[in-house]
Amino acid sequence: MSAKQIEESQVDDVAEGGEAAAAERLNLDVQIASPSACERHVTVTVSREDVDRYLDEAYSDMMATASVPGFRIGRAPRKLVENRFKEEIGEKIKGSLLMDSLSQISEDQSFTAISEPELNLDAIEVPSEGPMVFEFDIEVRPEFDLPQWKGLAIERPVREFTDADVDAHLEQMLARYGQLVPHEGAAEAGDFATVNLRTTADGKQLALEEERVLRIRPTLSFLDGKLEGFDKLLAGAKAGDKKTGKIELTQDAPNEELRGKSVEVEFEVLEVKKLKLPELTEEFLQEMGGFDSEEKLREAIKSNLQRQLEYEQQRNSRQQITAELTKKADWDLPPGLLKRQSVRELERAVMELRRAGFPETEIRARQNELRQNSGAATAKALKEHFILERIAEEEKIDAEEGDFEQEIFLMAMQSGESPRRVRAQIEKRGLMDILQNQIVERKVLEKVQSEAKFKDKPYEPGKSTVEAISVAAGGDAQSVPAATEAEEPKKDKA
């Protein structure tokens, strides 16, 4: 073993020896400032006595194995060992003091952290004299009085599904397996059109999608806006025709310079197609999911419709419950927190929709809707989460392994994949904590509903009126039209 390897081994021994030091509580002076409801700036002062204690125990543990030139291992004077390993021990002690300080602060302080502390490690030093001081920023759950949640009045959608409902849903399912056949006549609502799609602003091209197949529906949803009346725009169109419309971009559009502004969209129609649905043969029924008969398929569809109704009941109840509970939740949420959480909120919504058995076309439409209003949607979801989390803590509600298995099984059943594969995908993408939050929040809502007063109302299944595409009509930041000589370019935000 080389001298360098021996030294590295000795430093590792110090970390183990530091456990004894960590067992004794630190004498900390903690000062907390609150820039906003969800932010804390924390300044921590670690006493000199604690710094010396950690150093003393670290060097004491090292003495028996210290290798210093000119001395046998473990025989070198303490001063020489301290001089030789001062830098390495200092770094290790800094790490131990930080970890133990943060752990103690977490236990002692009243705030609930919702992110990791932001520490500038390079700026923190273990001083030769005096106390060790460090500071950090951290995002926390806001402090609030829990609103009254028992006895709420809630409207609940209900429906007995009929054969007509099953027929309509079966047609939607068959459409996924249908065949597009060329149509020489004019386009009608429900048809498909192959188009070259181009968006522009001030004559400058922003986005281009060539040979894109679109279903002609009332609304065409982009990532950053909607084109209403898409079915009327393309009604009567034939190959070779060009149709133009306008889209107003949302305030959450990826292209910040064009937020809230209108862009033009042009559709060059290349071909019109009709959808030919497959016949329910024995072979096709097996392909769809191993069904022995059309009757079995229809039973599965009815079960799926019931699950979607349950999702709507939960969503409807959640909206009413959280609207009541968040009436006084007027906290300002940090922009950075909203930006990070917007992706997680989107993932949560998609998992819930997949669990409920919604088709991918509907999921894409809901995704686009969330993206178009990501700031407001995320702020609303976060406030709801904070309140539901508080109720969960007070009622001791948590997710159990069986809950995870059930959620994953339902998602697997909808995707046609094995539960093991679905779980592996969720774990690989780091979404297990989102799934846990989803389970806990659902349990809390069930608890609130168990204490609520319900009034039933008829439920009408939603019809597919939106064609959603993963395209930003305004393009990205690089797609901004160049400023004219009379315009002064805007400066980047700090």
> Do residue 329 and residue 437 come from a single domain?
yes
**Domain CATH code at residue 310:** 1.10.3120
77 shares a domain with 46: yes
**Vertex 462 angle, CA 461 and 463, to 5°:** 120
**Residue 268: helix, strand or coil by DSSP?**
strand
How far is residue 79 CA from its own chain's centroid?
54
pLDDT at residue 79, rounded to an integer: 66
Residue showing tokens 């909120």: 345
313 and 405 in a single domain? The answer is: yes
How far apart CA 18 and CA 51 sit, in angstroms, is 12
- Candidates 433, 429, 346; CA nearest to 381 is 346
Question: Would you state the pLDDT for residue 395?
Answer: 93
Characterize 260-292 residue by residue with b for buried, 16 or more Cβ atoms within 10 angstroms of its Cβ, and e for exposed.
eeebbbebebbbbbbbeeeebeeeebeebeebe
The whole-angstrom separation of Cα 188 and Cα 52 is: 81
Residue 209 sits in a domain of what CATH number?
Answer: 3.10.50.30
Q: What is the pLDDT of residue 493?
A: 32
Q: 269 and 331: one domain?
A: no
Per-residue model confidence (pLDDT) at position 194: 96
The model's pTM is: 0.58
- DSSP state at residue 140: B
- In this structure, the answer to whether residues 233 and 269 fall within a common structural domain is yes
H or E stretch including 244? strand 242-248
β-sheet bridge partners, residue 248: 262
Return the number of other C-beta atoms located less than 10 Å from residue 335's C-beta.
Answer: 9
- Which letter, b or e, does each residue of 448-479 get, where b requires 16 or more Cβ atoms within 10 Å of its Cβ? bbeebeeeeeebeeeebebbbbebbbbbeeeb
Distance (Å, whole) CA 347 – CA 350: 5
pLDDT at res. 42:
93
- Cβ partners under 8 Å of residue 395, min gap 6: 444, 447
Q: Which of 81, 70, 71 is nearest to 13 (CA)?
A: 81
The helix/strand count (H/E) of the chain reads as: 14, 13
CA distance 63 to 372: 63
Strands 39-46 and 219-222: unpaired
Residue 88 lies inside a defined structural domain of this protein: yes
Q: Does residue 287 belong to any structural domain of this protein?
A: no
In a domain, 133, yes or no: yes
279, 268, 208: which is closest to 244 by C-alpha? Answer: 268
Q: Is 370 a domain residue? A: yes
Q: What is the pLDDT of residue 207?
A: 94
- Six-digit token string for 204: 């400058």
Q: Which amino acid is at 174?
A: L
Whether 108 and 255 map to the same domain: the answer is no
Give yes or no for a contact between 374 and 251, defined as CB atoms under 8 angstroms apart: no
**Same domain, yes or no, for 321 and 359?**
yes
Per-residue pLDDT tens for 100-141? 999 899 888 778 888 888 888 888 888 888 999 999 999 999
Nearest residue to 190 via CA among 269, 267, 278, 275: 275
Q: What is the pLDDT of residue 350?
A: 83
Rounded-to-integer distance, Cα 68 and Cα 78, Å = 11
**Closest-CA residue to 261 (of 343, 317, 206):** 206
Give residue 494's identity as a one-letter amino acid code: A
Residue 488 lies in a domain: no
DSSP 266: E
- Tell me, yes or no, whether 494 lies in a domain: no
Number of neighbours of residue 157 by Cβ within 10 angstroms: 16
Question: Is residue 351 domain-shared with residue 242, that is, in the same domain?
Answer: no
Assess if residue 247 is contained within a domain: yes
Cα 361 from Cα 220, distance rounded (Å): 12
Q: How many domains does the chain have?
A: 3
Token output for 228? 């209403």
SS3 letters for 20-58? HHHHCCCCEEEEEEEEECCEEEEEEEECHHHHHHHHHHH
Residues 290 and 298: their CA atoms lie apart, in Å, by 13
Residue 64: the pLDDT is: 61
Domain shared by 272 and 297, yes or no: no
Answer whether residue 14 is part of any domain: yes
Instruction: Give residue 7's pLDDT.
Output: 40
In a shared domain, residues 258 and 355: no
Same domain, 235 and 364: no
Distance of CA 392 to the CA centre of its chain: 20
The CATH number covering residue 109 comes to 3.30.70.1050
C-alpha radius of gyration, the chain, whole number? 31
Using alpha carbons only, give the angle 331, 334, 335 rounded to the nearest 5 degrees. Answer: 130
Per-residue pLDDT of the chain (494 residues; tens, 9 = 90+): 333 333 444 344 444 444 444 468 899 999 999 988 889 999 999 999 999 898 888 777 666 666 667 676 765 666 665 666 677 777 788 888 999 999 899 888 778 888 888 888 888 888 888 999 999 999 999 888 888 899 999 999 999 999 999 998 888 888 888 899 999 999 999 999 999 999 999 999 999 999 999 999 999 999 999 999 999 999 999 999 999 999 999 998 999 999 999 999 999 999 999 999 998 888 888 888 788 899 999 999 999 899 889 888 888 888 898 888 888 888 888 888 888 888 878 888 888 888 777 777 888 887 888 788 778 888 888 888 899 999 999 999 999 989 999 888 888 877 778 889 989 998 988 889 888 988 998 899 889 989 999 999 998 877 788 999 999 999 975 444 433 333 333 333 33
Q: What residue type is 267 in one-letter code?
A: F
Task: State residue 481's pLDDT score.
Answer: 42
Which structural domain range is residue 185 located in? 179-276+470-479
Written as one string, the DSSP assignment of 187-237 is --TT-EEEEEEEEEETTEEEEEEEEEEEE--SEEEETTEEEETHHHHHTT-
Q: Do 306 and 437 fall into the same domain?
A: yes
